[in-house]
């Protein structure tokens, strides 16, 4: 099973190389394949950081554009998606830092969430104790707790839990040793466990 | 010569073949022989013939003249010192031979033999042997080697680096230092000294001194159980995973922690998947930013060419005039077999007339023009007969191929279904 997974990864990487080679040879439309292949995954990860669909969409677009504009500096023997993730993660972190500087109140520290249009709505309704509401409550509590983590711990927890990336892949994205990935993940989870103890 | 004579006598004494006078003669020669240290010159003074025989063997060994030195020395050491008594599997023969083999087997082991024999009967032989070996292994003394491997910060550093915890040095280094001295260190020491194949109880002696410690478990206990996280992520190697599994069996707290970690991850994934939804179609925006003019273009397919081809076939038509001309001048004939065309209750009569006119237009003009056929374009003033086909359910497909045109294809079901193309008045064909 591990071998099959590795084979799939190898094939995926070969596909990326083909598309990237075509782009470098002048066929810009070949980049579309890469966009469509990774857009959902990048978006989900960025959403985990920003928790706003519009912002996540914008950052996702910006990440792909930036990657395209810097393709000359990308080595084909490297992994495109880890490189792309690094770009996207850094852009998302930039947005969160700007938000903090603006001291925006978009993300209420209390139990709040955004609805489908991206607007904040108070979903803490005592008169609707459905399972869906409970799930949303827990999710909001988790995201609130994650926001309290240091940036480096936020990154590793999102890359691991949302994308299922290995320690090696996370270490490549964040440019830190694998052992540091392991320790940061542990301390991030431990802190989340502590912060969420009262919600369970 | 006295030297050779002494050797001959010692050989006979060793082998039990000496006559009465041989022993006394040997004693005399030995006391005057400068090749031997002072304390050995009276080695034959013992009255016990066995002791004397052993001493003779030892003296011959000192002279390098005893081919059976190993066995004789072993016997001597064993008899005198009771060396390594109680050590599991230890034999004096092995000790003697291995000690000698570990030093300089091709040279006269004068000093070693001297040291061993001199210290026979005392557990300190071990220490003395080590001291002598140290002299012959100046580049890497055993004690220095053990000290280097056991209880040193290097071990802590190596372990921490292996576990990726180099940033958390202080408490872990202290824990590892306290736990220093595992058997693995002994193996490492012997390997460094190229003695790993030597069957000597040095390893047992060092292990007895240093103790046996499960170093990995000790470090794991001292490092906040961060391996719990790695275990959850399946990132431990086989050996570490085995140890971690053992730890989990007896550690409810760690098990509960791992479960909590898994729950948090699952809820996070579920929440993001539900809240984030699918990303919108972002390619057009990206394409615009990277300079692709028409993101929907398909290489080799030029829509403008198709439009030009249709125009060349269809020509230009004043739809309004044509439709009204037909509506106002046509004689409509109906067939008794044909049901009346149903008019939707909520629609006025005019759109229905226009629809009928367009249908006629499409059947007699548009369809042949687009799909081929020999029908000529009727002009205003013609009075063609209209025959409406029976229709019940219809299927409408809306096709938009250009900004200013709207084409509706209406097809009636059934065997007599007609293909109706409704063209918006702004369209030119």
Does A186 sit within 8 Å of B229, measured CB to CB?
Answer: yes
Better-scored residue on pLDDT, B118 or B423: B423
Output the six-digit token pair for B420: 């109706």
Confidence check: pLDDT of A87 > 90: yes
Provide the percentage of residues in chain A whose pLDDT is more than 90. 42
For B290, the closest of A65, A116, A166 (CB atoms) is A65
Confidence check: pLDDT of A80 > 90: yes
Mean per-residue pLDDT, A98-108: 61
Does A143 sit within 8 Å of B229, measured CB to CB?
Answer: no
Q: pLDDT category, A84, cuts 50, 70, 90?
A: very high
Does A138 sit within 8 Å of B283, measured CB to CB?
Answer: no
B123 Cβ under 8 Å from any chain A Cβ? no
Separation between Cα atoms, residue A32 and residue A88, nearest integer Å? 17
Separation between Cα atoms, residue B374 and residue B221, nearest integer Å? 93
SS3 B283: helix
Q: Which residues of B touch A181 (CB under 8 A)?
A: 164
Q: What pLDDT is recorded for position B210?
A: 52
Q: Which residues of A touch B299 (CB under 8 A)?
A: 29
Better-scored residue on pLDDT, B356 or B285: B285
Least confident of A154-158, B61-65, B342-346: B342-346
Q: What pLDDT is recorded for position A20?
A: 93
B297 Cβ under 8 Å from any chain A Cβ? yes
Which region, left, alpha or beta, applies to residue A152 given φ > 0 means left and ψ of -120 to 50 means alpha? alpha
Q: What are the pLDDT digits (tens) for B75-93?
A: 555 454 444 343 344 444 4
Q: What pLDDT is recorded for position A34?
A: 93
Confidence check: pLDDT of B370 > 50: no
Better-scored residue on pLDDT, A142 or B357: A142
Output the six-digit token pair for B89: 């599997």
Q: What are the pLDDT digits (tens) for B226-260?
A: 788 888 898 888 877 887 887 777 778 888 888 99
- For residue A42, give the chain B residue with the closest CA: B279
Q: What pLDDT is recorded for position B231?
A: 86
- The three-state DSSP-derived secondary structure of chain A is CHHHHHHHHHHHHHHHHHHHHHHHCCCHHHHHHHHHHHHHHHHHHHHHHHCCHHHHHHHHHHHHHHHHHCHHHCCCCCCHHHHHHHHHHHHHHHHHHHHHHHCCCCCCCCCCEECCCCCEECCCCCCCCCHHHHHHHHHHHHHHHHHCCCHHHHHHHHHHHCCCCCHHHHHHHHCCCHHHHHHHHHHHHHHHHHHCHHHC
Whether the predicted model's global pTM rises above the 0.90 cut:
no
Q: What pLDDT is recorded for position A179?
A: 85
Residues A107-116: contacts with CB under 8 Å, at least 24 apart: A107/A51, A107/A147, A109/A144, A111/A137, A111/A140, A111/A141, A111/A144, A112/A140, A113/A139, A113/A140, A113/B275, A114/A51, A114/A52, A114/A53, A114/B275, A116/B277
Q: What are the pLDDT digits (tens) for B164-179?
A: 555 554 554 455 445 4
Does B164 sit within 8 Å of A180, measured CB to CB?
Answer: yes
Find residues 127-166 of chain B whose CB sits inside 8 Å of chain A.
161, 163-166
Confidence check: pLDDT of A52 > 50: yes
Does A182 sit within 8 Å of B235, measured CB to CB?
Answer: yes
Beta bridge partners of B386: B332
Looking at every residue in chain B, the average pLDDT score rounds to 62
B240 Cβ under 8 Å from any chain A Cβ? no
Better-scored residue on pLDDT, A136 or B325: A136
Better-scored residue on pLDDT, B128 or B408: B408
SS3 B369: helix
Q: pLDDT category, B363, cuts 50, 70, 90?
A: very low
Q: Which residues of A touch B260 (CB under 8 A)?
A: 189, 193
Q: What are the pLDDT digits (tens) for B130-161?
A: 555 545 444 444 444 444 444 433 444 555 55
Q: What pLDDT is recorded for position A107?
A: 43
Better-scored residue on pLDDT, B332 or A146: A146
Better-scored residue on pLDDT, B141 or A158: A158
Q: What pLDDT is recorded for position B148?
A: 46
DSSP β-ladder status, B385-386 and B394-399: unpaired
Q: pLDDT category, B66, cuts 50, 70, 90?
A: low
Separation between Cα atoms, residue B424 and residue B408, nearest integer Å? 8
Q: What pLDDT is recorded for position B82?
A: 43
Q: What pLDDT is recorded for position A35?
A: 94
B278 Cβ under 8 Å from any chain A Cβ? yes
Does B168 sit within 8 Å of A136, measured CB to CB?
Answer: no
Confidence check: pLDDT of A126 > 50: no
Least confident of A48-52, A165-169, B214-218, B370-374: B370-374
Confidence check: pLDDT of B344 > 60: no
Q: What pLDDT is recorded for position A83?
A: 93
Distance from CA of B229 to the nearest CA of A (A): 5
Find residues 216-235 of chain B whose CB sits inside 8 Å of chain A.
224-226, 228-230, 233, 235
Q: What pLDDT is recorded for position B88?
A: 40
Looking at every residue in chain A, the average pLDDT score rounds to 83
Q: Which residues of A touch B267 (CB under 8 A)?
A: 135, 138-139, 142
Q: pLDDT category, B47, cuts 50, 70, 90?
A: confident
Does B290 sit within 8 Å of A69, measured CB to CB?
Answer: yes
For B279, the closest of A60, A192, A196 (CB atoms) is A60
Cα B410 to chain centroid, rounded:
62
Confidence check: pLDDT of A170 > 90: yes
Q: What pLDDT is recorded for position B369?
A: 46
Confidence check: pLDDT of B286 > 80: yes
Q: What pLDDT is recorded for position B193?
A: 55
């Amino acid at each position: 099973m591990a071998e099959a997974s590795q084979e799939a990864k190898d094939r995926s990487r070969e596909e990326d190389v083909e598309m990237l080679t075509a782009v470098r040879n002048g066929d810009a439309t070949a980049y579309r394949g890469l966009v469509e292949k990774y857009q959902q995954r990048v978006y989900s990860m960025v959403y985990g950081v920003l928790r706003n669909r519009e912002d996540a969409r914008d950052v996702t677009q910006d990440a792909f554009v930036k990657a395209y504009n810097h393709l000359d500096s990308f080595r084909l023997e490297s992994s495109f998606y880890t490189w792309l993730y690094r770009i996207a993660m850094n852009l998302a972190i930039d947005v969160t830092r700007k938000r903090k500087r603006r001291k925006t109140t978009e993300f209420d520290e209390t139990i709040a969430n955004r609805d489908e249009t991206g607007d904040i709505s108070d979903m803490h309704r005592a008169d609707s104790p459905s399972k869906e509401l409970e799930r949303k409550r827990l999710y909001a509590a988790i995201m609130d707790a994650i926001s309290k983590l240091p940036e480096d711990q936020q990154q590793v927890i999102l890359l691991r839990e949302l994308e299922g990336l290995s320690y090696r892949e996370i270490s490549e994205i964040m440019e830190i040793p694998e052992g540091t990935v392991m320790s940061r993940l542990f301390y991030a989870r431990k802190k989340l466990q502590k912060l969420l103890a009262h919600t369970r | 010569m006295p030297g050779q004579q002494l050797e001959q006598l010692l050989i006979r004494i060793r082998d039990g073949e000496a006559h009465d006078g041989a022993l006394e003669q040997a004693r005399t020669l030995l006391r005057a022989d400068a090749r031997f240290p002072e304390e050995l010159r009276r080695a034959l003074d013992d009255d016990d013939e066995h002791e004397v025989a052993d001493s003779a063997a030892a003296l011959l060994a000192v002279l390098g003249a005893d081919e059976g030195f190993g066995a004789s020395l072993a016997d001597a050491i064993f008899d005198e010192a009771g060396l390594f008594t109680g050590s599991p599997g230890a034999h004096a023969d092995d000790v003697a031979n291995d000690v000698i083999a570990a030093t300089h087997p091709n040279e006269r082991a004068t000093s070693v033999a001297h040291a061993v024999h001199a210290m026979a009967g005392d557990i300190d032989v071990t220490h003395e042997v080590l001291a002598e070996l140290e002299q012959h292994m100046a580049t890497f003394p055993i004690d220095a080697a053990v000290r280097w491997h056991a209880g040193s910060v290097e071990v802590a550093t190596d372990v921490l680096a292996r576990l990726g915890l180099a940033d958390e040095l202080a408490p872990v280094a202290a824990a590892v230092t306290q736990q220093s001295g595992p058997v693995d260190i002994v193996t490492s020491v012997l390997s460094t000294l190229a003695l790993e194949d030597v069957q000597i109880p040095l390893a047992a002696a060092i292990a007895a001194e240093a103790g046996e410690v499960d170093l990995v478990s000790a470090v794991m206990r001292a490092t906040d159980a961060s391996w719990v996280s790695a275990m959850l992520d399946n990132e431990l190697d086989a050996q570490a995973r085995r140890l971690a599994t053992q730890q989990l069996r007896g550690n409810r707290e760690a098990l509960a922690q791992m479960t909590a970690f898994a729950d948090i991850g699952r809820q996070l994934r579920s929440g993001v998947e539900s809240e984030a939804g699918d990303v919108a179609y972002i390619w057009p925006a990206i394409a615009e930013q990277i300079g692709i003019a028409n993101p929907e273009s398909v290489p080799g397919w030029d829509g403008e060419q198709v439009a030009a081809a249709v125009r060349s076939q269809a020509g230009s038509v004043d739809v309004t005039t044509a439709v009204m001309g037909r509506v106002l001048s046509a004689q409509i004939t109906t067939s008794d077999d044909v049901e009346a065309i149903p008019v939707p209750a909520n629609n006025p009569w005019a759109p229905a007339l226009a629809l009928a006119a367009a249908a006629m237009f499409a059947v007699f003009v548009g369809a042949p023009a687009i799909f081929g056929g020999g029908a000529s374009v009727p002009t205003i003033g013609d009075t063609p007969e209209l025959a409406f086909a029976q229709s019940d359910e219809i299927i409408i497909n809306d096709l938009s191929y250009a900004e200013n045109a709207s084409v509706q294809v209406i097809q009636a079901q059934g065997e007599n279904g007609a293909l109706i193309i409704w063209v918006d008045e702004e369209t030119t064909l």
